[in-house]
Amino acid sequence: MSGGVRARRRAVFVDRDGTLNRELVETLARPEQLDLVPGAGEALAALREAGFAVVVVTNQSAIARGELDHERLARVHAALAERVEQDGGRIDLFLACPHHESDGLAPYRRTCACRKPRPGMLLEAAQRLDLDLTRSWLVGDALRDLAAARAVGARTVLVATGKGASEMERAKKEGGAPDVFVPDLVAAVRAILAEAQGK
C-alpha cells in the first residue's frame, strides 16, 4: 500500500549442530564433515517460499579453545549454504558466538552478550535484517536455544534430534518447555508454517 509502513520481516532462527546438521564429530571443522539432517534443504526452501528469513545462530566455543578458527568456520558455513541452496533454500545470515565464559584464551574467554542462552545473536540479526522478533521462531535442540528466543519474545520449537530428546525430559522436570516439540527440523518447519497459515 502506497505511503504505508512496511512490516518488518519474520524469521526462523535455526541452531546448527544437532538441529540443522547431525553431530558426527565433536568439532565440525571441515566441510566434508557436514551431514545435514534429512530434508533440511527442502524445509528451509519452504520457509523461504513463505517469506521467512532464515538465520543460523550457533555457539562455537571451539574457537575460544583453539580447536577452530574463523576461516575454517566460514568454509563450513559456505558449504552448508551451498548444500541448502541446491535444494532451493537459502540461509540469509550466519551468526556464530566464539566465546566461552571459562574455557580458552583471550580475547574469547569472556562473558559475552551473544552466547546462547543470551539473545545477542538474535538481536544482531534483527538489526541487520530488519526483523520482527515477536513474529519470529527459533528451532533448536537445547534449552539454552529456547531461552535466547524467549528473551526477545520469539516462539520456540525443540527438536528431538541432537540432544533435544534429553533436553525435553529436563524441561519437564525443571521447566522451560518449548512452545512446540517435534521429531526434527522438517516437522518444525511444518508446525511453523501451519501456525503462520492459521491452521
Residues tagged active-site: 15, 17
Q: Is the peptide bond before 107 cis (omega within 30 degrees of 0)?
A: yes
Q: Which residue type occupies 86?
A: Q
- Which cell numbers hold the place of 164? 533435544
Length of the chain measured in residues: 199
